[in-house]
Amino acid sequence: MMYSEKVLDHFTNPRNVGELPDANGVGEVGNAKCGDIMRMYLKIEGDVITDVKFKTFGCGAAIATSSMATEMVKGRTIQEALQLSNKAVMEALDGLPPVKVHCSVLAEQAVRAALADYYRRQGIDPEPIVGKIQEPDHDHGEGDSCPSCG
């Protein structure tokens, strides 16, 4: 399995790792059975994401996509962050192997989940703005191997 230089760089030198104690939006997505769990912390002031951190439990591609997603939303408006797509994350990393595409989907969903939490804390129903947070489109039982989870 070949990874791009950018994937390897974001895996070995991830940006924005950690927690934000004063985060006003926190989202967690993933599937413990698959092994990839992402938690995204956003600090939003006005309409701008002024700081972002992440904690990811998973493979190198999961860490790299989390790192890249934080770089792509930091300093952006909420509206700009809502435009983040897994495809944009993959393109920014110069691609991912097909079996690792789900990591970019999780990165997009982690940002959306944190934005949904931000809106909930404001007393606003997030679904019309953020959309429904999708879990990965597969499930499996204990001990089952999963081709899309690697």
Active site residues: 34, 103
Reduced to 3 states (helix: H, G, I; strand: E, B; else coil), residue 77 is: strand
Reduced to 3 states (helix: H, G, I; strand: E, B; else coil), residue 46 is: coil
Burial of 129 (0-12, 13-18, 19+ CB in 10 A): middle
Which residues lie closer than 8 Å to 82 by C-beta, 6 or more apart? 112, 115, 129, 130
